[in-house]
Amino acid sequence: MQYIHSAGLSLEGGGTIAPVIIAFDMAGALNHERSNCVLVFHALTGDQYVGRANPATGRPPWWSRVVGPGRILDTTRFCVLCVNVLGGCMGSTGPSERDAAGRVYGAGFPVITIPDMVRAQMAVLDHLGIARVMLAIGGSMGGMLALQMAADFPDRAGAFALIATAARHSAQNIAFYELGRQAIMSDPDWRGGAYAEAGTFPRRGLALARMAAHITYLSDEALHRKFGRALQARDAVSYGFEADFEVESYLRHQGERFVDRFDANSYLYITRAMDYFDLAAAHHEVLANAFRGARARFCVFSFSSDWHYPPAESKALARALVAAGADVSYVETDTDKGHDAFLLEEPEFERALAGFVNRTAALAGIAAGISGGIPGGSGANDPA
Amino acid sequence: MQYIHSAGLSLEGGGTIAPVIIAFDMAGALNHERSNCVLVFHALTGDQYVGRANPATGRPPWWSRVVGPGRILDTTRFCVLCVNVLGGCMGSTGPSERDAAGRVYGAGFPVITIPDMVRAQMAVLDHLGIARVMLAIGGSMGGMLALQMAADFPDRAGAFALIATAARHSAQNIAFYELGRQAIMSDPDWRGGAYAEAGTFPRRGLALARMAAHITYLSDEALHRKFGRALQARDAVSYGFEADFEVESYLRHQGERFVDRFDANSYLYITRAMDYFDLAAAHHEVLANAFRGARARFCVFSFSSDWHYPPAESKALARALVAAGADVSYVETDTDKGHDAFLLEEPEFERALAGFVNRTAALAGIAAGISGGIPGGSGANDPA
């Protein structure tokens, strides 16, 4: 589904994009009162297909453990809405789309920010006639969008679930994303961003960027448990530069698979928006100021081995919310799965999330669903 | 100084390199008994100029806090020897040097291992008539060489100091180095390793590899303390892809500076040797077996915020040494400086190291030097 916002969007960094096309997907039906909507914000390389397969690519939904009939975000009970972010490459206006003159934006796309992305999503809510969602929820970059919504549109959600996220990018996070951007921009096939016209694509650079990011999504323990120093389909090391170790071929595979589904310029623009994100700086350096007068309920979820968005950042966030007088809970799950834990099987996290969701639904007067329980089976198949 | 080992070296991975040229540097005089030699092993991108400036480049010595007159490794007292590793690019035989037929090795250089590097250094000791060094010491990859020497030539050192190192590369470390190698090998200027003939150099790929590694050398705290989210010579973000944040321009600078002093193929070969390093695997998966019968004294140093070679790895090493019946101490320094702490001002670490060195010297019957104290001033200027 697409919404064409003809009025366009004025950007924080200056300039306007018009029209703005916003692609979204909905799973489950909106009730008569339009009170059962759950807005899920996707992460850096995610898309709007949170609860059903991408009809174009057949790619499975990215959060199937949590979204679906009988799942925590039960689509027989809630209407789960997810919007491809502004700057993305799954149908929303972004650098790989064409401007009003019919030319691919490329590096001519304006720099966007998390607040811009959130305003684009609010336009979709307006379009759908949803004044207020029951719950806004997101992990990683999705959590940043949820936080920004809490700051800018505090009354448009009854509750916010903030998962494996932070109120700003750390210097280390900026460093990792800068590494990825340099990898893309130094690929000769990037062509100053005009690879669409040139008929090239910076596959090598984008694959490197993905490899770098992927290392941050897993804990050292998770990498060790998954691969250790196991050799790739051989009995002894080859004394060469082929992928001797499983972790090497895994990384190469992650990089190669990614370039078939993601746009390189989108990667540049979205990571830049993440780097710029600093909610305290926008509120006189006091994070609590961002949440003054918040009447929604909040729950902050973190994972002990997440070194990309470490628990310390989540605790700082919970502290600021308490200081702002908000109703907030903090849930830290002990796990060795790292940042990607929120996409994987983590019963303790899922039980806490289910409790928060069900209480939120009860307060909103939404009848219980068919189960609202915890899914079995294995995790989603693609990380943040 | 160079030693030409005409007999050459048989390699662990097969094949022979002959002749092998080994470049080394010495600071301080060897005493009559040849009993006052300290063998320092350099790290991945280090060189033999541990205690005095590189006479060719003028580049300052990489461990000036620790090596020099009146320093912990007092060059008025000890003869400090440091050897450019086999595969390196500061005079020792490596991929940027020419083979017997006069052609630059390039990617035709054989894959080498840490044990190969150590045997090359033992050949230098033989050449200098040094049966046994007073102390063998190294940080990071240098620590791996020291460990390998302890396993293969336990009687050729009176003591071993193992700093910020591990008995094997973790899956995460392999992942980071694989990322760097992929960056180099996917640079079109790499030319399959034959860039010398082509008159090119994979500057972009090597700079990316350095940037990736550099992130691992600093702790998140150190990056935060050093840069936070400070902006680079501007008052507000630029909403562009220039280096807005100091950490970005710092990383770019590290990458660009590195390509002028290091060979890309050397980076491939040396990181590969590090990945292959697994002392337990070479001893029936029991690390203690590597040190059976060790009569030397050992001291293992680690840094609390080092996530590249975390304290857990150092503790495992100390445990294995104890299990082998060795005389071993373990020193963990609380610091937020990360892996590079051993190159920086860390008084607690330096006091412990000085104590170990002085006791080692006393046991070897080496007279006290002019001070043997702790240096003041700032740290060395280049990381591992």
Mean pLDDT of B189-217: 96
Return the residue of B nearest to A204 by Cα.
Answer: B186
Summary mean pLDDT of chain B: 93
Asked if residue A19 has a cis previous peptide bond (ω within 30° of 0), the answer is yes
Place of tokens 């390093």: B277
Q: What is the pLDDT of residues B110-163, one digit of tens each?
A: 999 999 999 999 999 999 999 999 999 999 999 999 999 999 999 999 999 999
Name residue B202's amino acid. P
Question: Above pLDDT 90, what percent of chain B?
Answer: 86
Count CA atoms closer than 13 A to B231's CA, side-chain side. 13
Place of tokens 């008052």: B235
Contact B150, B179 (CB under 8 A): no
Position A369 scores a pLDDT of 64
Count CA atoms closer than 13 A to A348's CA, side-chain side. 12
What confidence category does residue A377 fall into, taking pLDDT thresholds of 50, 70 and 90? very low
Strand B2-5 and strand B20-27: pairing?
antiparallel
Task: Please judge whether A241 and B170 are an interchain contact, meaning their C-beta atoms are less than 8 angstroms apart.
Answer: no
Strand B9-10 and strand A37-41: pairing?
unpaired
Q: What is the pLDDT of residues A199-213, one digit of tens each?
A: 999 999 999 999 999
- On the question of pLDDT at B220 being above 90, the answer is no
CATH code for residues A2-169+277-363: 3.40.50.1820
- On the question of pLDDT at A289 being above 80, the answer is yes
**A contacts of B168 (beta carbons < 8 Å):** 229
Tokens in use for A161? 């679930």
Q: What is the pLDDT of residues A50-89, one digit of tens each?
A: 988 988 888 899 999 999 999 999 999 999 999 999 999 9
Coil/strand/helix, residue B272 = helix
Q: How far apart are CA A377 and CA A142, in angstroms?
A: 24
**A contacts of B243 (beta carbons < 8 Å):** 178
Strand A327-333 and strand B73-74: pairing?
unpaired
Do you know the residue count of chain A? Answer: 384
Q: How far apart are CA A29 and CA A3, in angstroms?
A: 18
Which residues lie below 8 Å from residue B114, measured CB to CB, with a gap of 6+?
Answer: B141, B144, B145, B148, B273, B274, B276, B277
Q: A138's torsion region: left (phi>0), alpha (psi -120 to 50) or beta?
A: beta
**A contacts of B272 (beta carbons < 8 Å):** 241
What confidence category does residue B200 fall into, taking pLDDT thresholds of 50, 70 and 90? very high
CATH code for residues B2-169+275-363: 3.40.50.1820
Mutate to test the interface with A, among B10, B11, B172 (most CBs of A within 10 A): B172
Whether the domain at B2-169+275-363 and the domain at B174-271 fall into the same CATH topology: no
Considering the domain B174-271, what is its CATH architecture?
Orthogonal Bundle (1.10)
For residue A189, the tally of other CB atoms under 10 A from its CB is 17
Task: Please judge whether A229 and B188 are an interchain contact, meaning their C-beta atoms are less than 8 angstroms apart.
Answer: no
Position B225 scores a pLDDT of 87
Summary mean pLDDT of chain A: 93
Alpha-carbon torsion (A63, A65, A71, A73), positive or negative: negative
Q: How far apart are CA B162 and CA B297, in angstroms?
A: 11
Asked if residue B19 has a cis previous peptide bond (ω within 30° of 0), the answer is yes
Q: What is the pLDDT of residues B30-87, one digit of tens each?
A: 999 999 999 999 999 999 999 889 888 888 999 999 999 999 999 999 999 999 999 9
Task: Please judge whether B179 and A212 are an interchain contact, meaning their C-beta atoms are less than 8 angstroms apart.
Answer: yes
Tell me the domain boundaries of chain A: 2-169+277-363, 174-271
Do you know the residue count of chain B? Answer: 384
Position B377 scores a pLDDT of 44
Contact B109, B20 (CB under 8 A): no
Residue in B207, B237, B255 closest to A276 by CB: B237
Name residue A35's amino acid. S
Q: What is the pLDDT of residues A256-276, one digit of tens each?
A: 999 999 999 999 999 999 999
Q: A233's torsion region: left (phi>0), alpha (psi -120 to 50) or beta?
A: left
Shortest distance between the Cα of B167 and any Cα of chain A, in A, equals 13
Shortest distance between the Cα of A183 and any Cα of chain B, in A, equals 7
Task: Please judge whether A229 and B174 are an interchain contact, meaning their C-beta atoms are less than 8 angstroms apart.
Answer: yes
- CA diameter of chain B: 66
Q: Calculate the alpha carbon distances from A374 to A134, A364, B380 in Å.
A: 20, 21, 54
Alpha-carbon torsion (A311, A315, A317, A318), positive or negative: positive
Q: How far apart are CA A307 and CA A219, in angstroms?
A: 7
* Torsion, CA B117, CA B123, CA B124, CA B125, rounded to 10: 110
Question: Above pLDDT 70, what percent of chain A?
Answer: 96
Position A290 scores a pLDDT of 97
Q: What is the pLDDT of residues A327-376, one digit of tens each?
A: 999 999 999 999 999 999 999 999 999 999 999 999 999 987 654 444 44
